[in-house]
Amino acid sequence: MKRLPVFFLTPLITVMLVMLVVTPGNAFAYIDPGAGSALLQVILAAIFGGLLFFKIIWQRIRMGFSRFLESVKSRK
């Protein structure tokens, strides 16, 4: 496993300690009913975005294979 250099770890530890001191211990936040629907919307957007991404990638792979097969057939 590759080790991180010391000059990288020192600022990282400093930022983490500052964030630990600055952030409050308890937030006492209220989650309203609209937060659930917003969370559902984010989850659905992530799912359908991922599906669209893989669909586009799959089309590109299929297009590459079809071009390859056409070039092989034309050589015969």
- 41-50 confidence digits (pLDDT tens): 999 999 999 9
- 23-66 confidence digits (pLDDT tens): 777 767 777 878 888 999 999 999 999 999 999 999 999 998 88
H or E element that contains 21: helix 6-22
Alpha carbon separation from 40 to 29, 45, 46 (Å, rounded): 19, 9, 10
Maximum C-alpha span of the chain: 73
pLDDT the model gives residue 73: 81
Would you list the domain boundaries of the chain? 50-76
